[in-house]
Amino acid sequence: MTPSAYRERGFVDGVNAENARDHAALVNRIGPCVGLHHISEKVRTEKDKMTYSITKKELSPQPVLVVRRRVKRSEIASTIAEVLPRVFLYAQQKGIALAGSPFTRYVEVGAGMLTIEPGMRVAASGQTPVSIDLAWTQTSGEGEVVSDTLPGGPVAATMHAGPYDKLPDAYRD
């Protein structure tokens, strides 16, 4: 789709001006982190040390687009790096307004395998995305972008923006 056709089409749910501004700001801010570049582990320095602040919040239910994958712990980073660009592209192609930073939901955590759902928050839930018909879908229905809702309620929240091998520190704090 050409840029002018993309602008002319707009969002499929006719989002308001505030949602459109939020979407544009998110695209500019998170586009690079959704897979347009990666930092080698060799490049990481002491700046990767994290400090965590934990806050209590009350969240409203949030519509999202996700891809569910069952992976080994060693595959978390590569899976997120593979999936988020697909979700991002899917939202752009379907005219779905983004409404928040990328996230990964850890659905099931086992000793050897985890079920994760990398995804993006979206502004509207009035549409039901269909399976992606592009070459990246996996067999058995896995790997498809689907709409879902993050449940609302009380949460304890922290943000981890460092290397994945330091992720357990976020849980420990």
Can you read off the two tokens belonging to residue 43? 């490049």
Lowest mean pLDDT among 15-24, 83-92, 99-108, 111-120: 15-24
Q: What's the pTM?
A: 0.61
Burial of 140-155, coded b for 16+ CB within 10 Å and e otherwise, reads: eeebbbbbbebeeeee
The CATH-assigned architecture of domain 3-38+60-152 is Alpha-Beta Barrel (3.20)
pLDDT per residue as tens digits for the range 40-90: 544 444 455 667 778 899 989 999 999 999 999 889 989 999 999 999 999
Residues in the chain: 173
Domain ranges in the chain are 3-38+60-152
